[in-house]
Amino acid sequence: MKALMSLEDYLAGWARNGEVRAAAKTVLSLAGAGTEISGLIARGPLAGSMSAVVGRHGDGDSQKELDRITNDLIIEALKGAPVALIASEELEAPLATGADDAPLCVAIDPLDGSSNIDTNVSVGTIFSILPLREDTGREDEAHFFQPGTRQLAAGYIIYGPQTSMVLSVGAGTHIFTLDPADRKYKLTAANLQVPADTREFAINASNYRHWDTGIRQYIDSCLEGAQGARKKNFNTRWIGSMVAECHRILIRGGIYLYPGDAREGYRQGRLRLIYEGNPVAFLMEQAGGAATTGQMRILDVEPTAIHQRIPLIFGSTGEVAIAESHCGLGENSADRSPLFAQRGLFRP
Ligand code: F6P
Which candidate, 244, 255, 51, 239, places its Cα nearest to that of 161? 244
Residues 136, 86 within the same domain: yes
Residues 226, 279 within the same domain: yes
Which candidate, 307, 310, 303, 245, places its Cα nearest to that of 109? 307
pLDDT in tens, 114-164: 889 889 999 999 999 999 999 999 999 999 999 999 999 999 999 999 999
DSSP for residue 46: G
Cβ(242) to ligand 1 under 6 A?
yes
Give the number of the atom of ligand 1 that is nearest the alpha carbon of residue 244.
6
Measure the N-to-C terminal CA separation of the chain; round to a whole number of Å. Answer: 57
Domain CATH code at residue 101: 3.30.540.10
Which candidate, 139, 69, 75, places its Cα nearest to that of 107? 75
Number of domains in the chain: 2
Q: Which residues pair with 261 in a beta bridge?
A: 211
Answer yes or no: is 103 within a domain. Answer: yes
**Residue 283 pLDDT greater than 80, yes or no:** yes
Residues 181, 59 within the same domain: yes
For residues 312-319, give the mean pLDDT. Answer: 98
Distance CA 301, CA 298 (A): 6
Cβ(94) to ligand 1 under 6 A?
no
Query: How far, CA to CA in Å, does 271 sit from each of 10, 109, 308?
Result: 30, 11, 8
Residues 290, 179 within the same domain: no
**Residue 319 pLDDT greater than 60, yes or no:** yes
Residues 40, 161 within the same domain: yes
Select from 241, 264, 308 the residue to mutate for testing ligand 1; criterion: most ligand atoms less than 8 Å from CB: 241
Cβ(240) to ligand 1 under 6 A?
yes
Distance 129 CA to ligand 1 centre (A): 22
Which candidate, 322, 287, 324, places its Cα nearest to that of 195? 287
Give the number of the atom of ligand 1 that is nearest the alpha carbon of residue 241.
6
Residues 162, 221 within the same domain: no
Where a domain ends, among 189, 219, 254? Answer: 189
Residues 168, 22 within the same domain: yes
pTM: 0.94
- Supply the pLDDT for residue 343: 38
Is-contact 54 48, C-beta < 8 A?
A: no
Domain residue limits at 34: 7-189
Residues 166, 38 within the same domain: yes
Q: Looking at 47-103, which runs of residues are DSSP E strands?
A: 53-56, 62-64, 83-88, 95-96
Answer yes or no: is 215 within a domain. Answer: yes
Answer yes or no: is 288 within a domain. Answer: yes
pLDDT in tens, 262-271: 999 999 999 9
Cβ(277) to ligand 1 under 6 A?
no
pLDDT in tens, 34-56: 999 999 999 999 988 887 888 87
Residues 128, 229 within the same domain: no
